[in-house]
Amino acid sequence: MNTRRITTTLSALTAALVLAGCASVASDGLRGDVQQQTQSRLPKDAQLASANADARKEAQDRIADWLKQPVDQDTAVRIALLNNPDLHAQLAELAAQDAERAQALTLINPTLTLGRFTNGHEREIERQLGFNLVNVITLPWRSRWLGWQMERATLQASQNVLLMAAETRRAWLRAVASEQSLAAAVKMNDAAQLGAELARRMAQVGNFNKLQQARELSIAQESAAQLARARLAAATDREQLSRMMGLWGTQAAFQLPAQLPAIPRSAGELRSGDDAEATALRERLDLRALRRDLDTTADRGGWAGVGAVFGDIGATYSNNRSTDRETGHVEKTRGWELDLPLPIFDWGGSASARTRAEVRRSAALLQSTALRARGEARTSWSRYRTAWDLAHQQQAEVLPLAKLVQDETVLRYNGMFDSVWQLLAQARATTQAVVNATNAQRDFWLAETDLQLALTGTSPGETAALGSSASNAASNTNEQGH
Amino acid sequence: MQRRNFFKGAATAVTTAVAAASVSRVAMAALPEPASQSSADTAAPLVPPNGRPYRPVVTLNGWTTPWRMSNGVKEFHLVAEPVVREVAPGFSVNMWGYNGQSPGPTIEVVEGDRVRIYVTNRLPEHTTIHWHGQRLPNGMDGVGGLTQPHIAPGKTFVYEFVARRPGTFMYHPHADEMAQMAMGMMGLWITHPKAASPLIAHVDRDYAFLLSAYDVEPGAMTPRVNEMTDFNIWTFNSRVFPAITPLVAKQNDRVRIRVGNLTMTNHPIHIHGHEFEVTGTDGGPVPRSARWPEVTTDVAVGQMRQVEFIADELGDWALHCHKSHHTMGAMGHDVPTMIGVDHRGLVSKIQKIVPDYMLMGERGMGDMGSMEMPLPDNTFPMMSGTGPFGSLEMGGMFTTLKVRAQLGANDYRDPGWFKHPKDTVAWEWTGKPLGADAPRQTPPGSASGAPSVRKPGTDSGHDQHH
Ligand SMILES: [Cu+2]
């Protein structure tokens, strides 16, 4: 028998396969690669959740430790990376993809065909060992393409990590700002309730009529409603943050700092916008992923025609043995069989056309995304810069002015030019100014988060429009004074 | 106060500020040098250095302008210009006036004098001067557009006429007068009688002032010229109590007070402790048969009143407008009354929101007079002034008439607070206090005699619910 020779052939192919080195599954499900891609774009020491049970246990301990103190922005991101179940799912998906890739690179098992045929005087035993030749020949290329595809999938997963981090950051900023606004709403409501109580006592001794009292009461009612809305907003925003950090139960009772981080003091400390576009083109992971796509498509293009024509080439080794039943004479035939499809109708032209089109599409997609990246770099920077201007104006001009108005109102109250209700109304207006300043401060950090993402990560997606908070605030402000 | 020192020079005819710019530079062809005054204190009476003699008036917190004689004509030079008037120490107002002050200097002449007045306009807009109450040629009456062209900025016009009638008069613009008078453009004009007249008495003290009102936003400096009714600064000669000079008199002096009203409302001027007669108006001396005794005379808008009395009662007597708001400084007219409102449990809560909050007005407004609370810059408090017995709680058209037994004839200095003879000051009852079961007033907020409402939860009301 010549099975030994077959074995030799198969061994050689297996060796080629091993040499291609692609069929192994990454032991960490490519988390290390994702970690590497995102490291510089995440808070220092931020770790991705591990698939390893011990590591996960350790991560939980670390999270429990962090939660003992008010959770700052970076810690919120760290917790989310370790604990967010959506992120776990995405990383698991990446590992699954990697396993699929490894599987795809495994050679299709040879086909062993056994036949036993008998007639009156003969018994024939047929043994065929066949395998797909192209599958073997194209192995190194396919291995390369699939490698690129995995790189692409890794880049996609990295983008998801960054998006998740950004979303956590945004949730943290909103939660802290809402908490601050709630404190202000409590103060505004206190002022309004005091005004109403004093008005009630005024009416009691006949100094106010029903109308005057009712006006103060309606201010208090409006203010109570505003407080309720502020409570809901604070609870909702906090809930969103817990969800991002994957916290529930007692862990959801985490503490937050009382204040948002201060904005940069001067415009000089801001990130310059000059290199925004270049940075985005150089750093963005979505662009890198599309570049890999283009490589793959282009590389494949060269093989498309061949693959289309000869995709079904098959080689079969046959070893037949027929035995004459009477004489016992054994006749053996051995030989190769080659299946060749006849490209009568398609010499691979349409396949080539398709891959050419795919290359073009891939290139166009890359170009369009690069264009968008440029645009996003510019607009994110403008938003960031304007957000700083607005927040800085609030800090440096609006708040001091509100303070001055408050002080002058006290002086006017002292001189009996204004009443205590005007004083309380001004206190509410001043507090509202603090809320507006907080919102502007939050908007700056939101814009900063988007800018980071747009420059070094990926498309920031939907970003909150600046000034929306101001208009919210305006609609929330009830009439001051009377 | 500075004004006390200011009177030290009262014996000399002309005060230093005026002397510096006085009559010496006579040059026929040249304009007379305008005299200017930088102080808001009361200047000593200006004894006439030349011309017909007369007994000069004392302009409260004002002064009389010197003149020069030119071929028998008394020449004055008024310069209409923006000024900053010290309405009270620490409270200055941007005004328009004449020769450094608002009101402008008092012009004093004698019946029959030929008077030539040069008027230079240093205002940003045109002006004229109307000589309120004078008999004069129509073309000298100073109504811009009607009797003369306006005096453009930078121009000088000349008015010339004979002071035909003795009396108390004033001068003010008759061009954009609403704005210009709201900005303080006004002055007194006194024509003394040439000879003794049966209707014009000789007086020992002759005081003159104009009533004017301004609306200055607390903390601002310029009057709101468009205000018509809601003024917050009520003044004698653009001064407010306690910055108004007291009127002093030696016991049994015959005192004349001349008051002109250039505000937009009437002012019942009231003098304590004495009866007076209105002896003249801007129409001239009042016939004796038409005079009757009063303690208050209403000075209507655009009018002048001349009252006379013998200051025979010793003491510090109030002299004021009887509209009580007119004796108050700036105040918020929309501030609700807080009297009787229970603030228990609220003050500390308000202070949590407004740390500088102080409770005011729940017992009345009198606290304002004694509380020293920070106010907006350049704001005159609603009530201030301190007397020998405490806070005076006044801040507008209010001053005092101080009658003393011992006083030099030309001494106008503030003699200080009156020393009351023993047992002549109201005293505190120290006997048995009012019993607790004495009738009390109706509790605030409930009308007396109204049916009382039963509240649910009270015993009888409770029964009715079932
Ligand atoms: Cu009055």
Q: Which residue has the higher pLDDT, A106 or B123?
A: B123
In contact, B136 and B161? CB cutoff 8 Å: yes
Banded pLDDT at B448 (limits 50, 70, 90): low
**Distance to chain B for A431, nearest Cα, Å:** 10
List, for residues A432-445, the tens digit of each pLDDT value: 999 999 999 999 99
- Residue to test with chain A: of B325, B335, B371, most A Cβ within 10 A: B335
Distance B323 CA to ligand 1 centre (A): 5
**Looking at residue B398, what is its pLDDT?**
97
Question: Does A201 contact B376 at a Cβ distance shorter than 8 Å?
Answer: no
Distance B206 CA to ligand 1 centre (A): 21
List, for residues A368-405, the tens digit of each pLDDT value: 999 999 999 999 999 999 999 999 999 999 999 999 99
Question: What mean pLDDT is predicted for residues A142-163?
Answer: 88
Q: Is A21 left (phi over 0), alpha (psi -120 to 50) or beta?
A: left
Q: Residues of A with CB below 8 A from B364's CB? A: none
Question: Does A207 contact B341 at a Cβ distance shorter than 8 Å?
Answer: yes
Q: Tell me which DSSP letter residue A264 carries.
A: P
CA angle A74, A75, A76 (to 5 degrees): 90
Instruction: HSE, CB side, 13 Å, CA atoms: give it for residue A260.
Output: 30
Distance CA A435, CA A188 (A): 11
Q: Which residue has the tokens 């201010």?
A: A219
**Does B219 contact chain A (CB < 8 Å)?**
yes
**Looking at residue A277, what is its pLDDT?**
93
**Distance to chain B for A462, nearest Cα, Å:** 39
Encoded tokens for B224: 């709101």
Cα A58 versus chain centre, distance:
24
Residues 6+ apart with CB under 8 A from A374: A277, A280, A281
pLDDT of A324 over the 90 cut = no
Encoded tokens for B247: 């009127």
Question: Does B349 contact A201 at a Cβ distance shorter than 8 Å?
Answer: no
pLDDT of B87 over the 90 cut = yes
How many residues make up chain B in this entry? 466
Question: What mean pLDDT is predicted for residues A118-126?
Answer: 84
pLDDT of B4 over the 70 cut = no
Q: Which of A23-27, B27-31, B54-58, B94-98 has the lowest mean pLDDT?
A: B27-31
Instruction: Calculate the CA dihedral of residues A132, A137, A139, A142 and round it to 10 degrees.
Output: -100
Q: Which residues pair with B78 in a beta bridge?
A: B119
Question: What mean pLDDT is predicted for residues A162-169?
Answer: 95
Banded pLDDT at A337 (limits 50, 70, 90): confident
Banded pLDDT at A10 (limits 50, 70, 90): low
**Looking at residue A478, what is its pLDDT?**
38
Question: What mean pLDDT is predicted for residues B180-203?
Answer: 96
pLDDT of A188 over the 50 cut = yes
**Does B331 contact chain A (CB < 8 Å)?**
yes
Distance B4 CA to ligand 1 centre (A): 27
SS3 content of chain B, % helix, strand, coil (to 5): 10, 35, 55
Q: Which residues pair with B208 in a beta bridge?
A: B59, B258
pLDDT of B368 over the 90 cut = no
Q: Which residue has the higher pLDDT, B57 or A303?
A: B57
Domains of chain B by range and CATH? 25-172 (2.60.40.420)
Banded pLDDT at A467 (limits 50, 70, 90): very low
pLDDT of B462 over the 60 cut = no
Q: Residues of A with CB below 8 A from B365's CB? A: 416
**Looking at residue B5, what is its pLDDT?**
38
Q: Residues of A with CB below 8 A from B338's CB? A: 202, 207, 420
For A199, name the nearest residue in chain B, comparing CA atoms only.
Answer: B341
Encoded tokens for A223: 């203010």
**Looking at residue B12, what is its pLDDT?**
38
Nearest to A478 by CA among A424, A406, A418, A399: A424
pLDDT of A263 over the 70 cut = yes
**Looking at residue A184, what is its pLDDT?**
96
Output the average pLDDT for chain A. Answer: 86
Share of chain A above pLDDT 70, in %: 88
Burial A270-293 (b: 16+ CB within 10 A, else e): bbeeeebbebbeebbbbbbbbbbb
Question: Does A415 contact B361 at a Cβ distance shorter than 8 Å?
Answer: no
Q: Which residue has the higher pLDDT, B28 or B144?
A: B144
Burial B347-369 (b: 16+ CB within 10 A, else e): eeebeebbeebeebbbeebebbb
Encoded tokens for B335: 């501030």
Distance B268 CA to ligand 1 centre (A): 6
**Looking at residue A359, what is its pLDDT?**
87
Q: Which residue has the higher pLDDT, A472 or A346?
A: A346
Distance CA A399, CA A410 (A): 17
Give the architecture (CATH level 2) of A2-481.
Up-down Bundle (1.20)
**Looking at residue A80, what is its pLDDT?**
95
Closest to A417 (Cβ–Cβ): which among B218, B337, B340? B218
Banded pLDDT at B369 (limits 50, 70, 90): confident
Q: Residues of B with CB below 8 A from A212's CB? A: 336
**Distance to chain B for A414, nearest Cα, Å:** 6
**Distance to chain B for A222, nearest Cα, Å:** 18
